[in-house]
Amino acid sequence: MIRFLLVFLVPFSVFALEPAALLKQIDRNLSPESYESYRKLINIEPSGAKKEYTMFTVKKGLDKVASLFIAPASENGRSTLRLGDNMWLYIPNIGKPVRVTSLQSVVGGVFNNADILQLDYSAEYDVVRVDEQNGLYILQLKAKTRTVAYDRLVITADKAKKLPQKIDCMTADGMLIKTLYFKEVKDFGGGIVRPSVIETDSPLYKGYKSVMIFAGIKKRDFKNEVFTIAYMPNMAELR
């Protein structure tokens, strides 16, 4: 009887540390499972020169993401689609979507296509270890397949908010490819409270930096047809 009572006296927070559940909670705190968002991407060169893009993005479930370029005018009407590991870019004056890879970048800069069309981390990675220190979780992640952009991730997350502060993206042997910094937590409404700014730099691109700024994000459901190659020319209809 004593043992039975002790089990139920253990604080619930202990069970909340289950690694896979923790990662899924971080995913959900970053965004609803299905949503729409507006964001700006800024590429900054060592000279200080900047190039900016404005994008409208929609996501459904674990593996469907699509984006539409709104600005600059030269990019207006371009769209991208990701279905799991497969990605396409649609350019209006070409008319036929072309395949792109996760490590390429449709905007140049330090963010690659996998960063821009980000799936849930739990969809692509398994948690192999979780440590706690100074009010932070340190999650060690390993890619589920070889097709993922980064073999390993190390997520440093706020323990109370369960939101990332920093993510180191690495190769299988531990070489740092880039670091993502999550800043300026903002209340977007509808229960979505998350960082509004993501910055990234890379030892492979010294002096270069890219910034992603979220202007809005909200829950929204979509039909599956939105996430098809045939729909890519029509994405503006969703706005």
Domain positions in the chain: 15-238
Length of the chain: 239
Question: Residue 144: CA atoms inside 13 Å, Cβ hemisphere, count?
Answer: 11
For residue 24, give every residue at least 6 positions away whose Cβ sits within 8 Å of its Cβ, in sequence order, or none: 120, 122
pLDDT tens-digit readout, 71-107: 999 999 999 999 999 999 999 988 789 999 998 999 9
Percent of the chain residues topping a pLDDT of 70: 93
Which CATH number applies to 15-238? 2.50.20.10
- For residue 111, which of 209, 34, 226 has the smallest C-alpha distance? 209
Place of tokens 């010294």: 206
Mean pLDDT of 136-161: 95
pLDDT digits (tens, 9 = 90+) for 35-55: 999 999 999 999 999 999 999
Helix (H) or strand (E) holding 14: helix 12-15
- Paired tokens of 189: 């409404």
Q: What is the pLDDT of residue 17?
A: 59
CA distance 218 to 186: 13
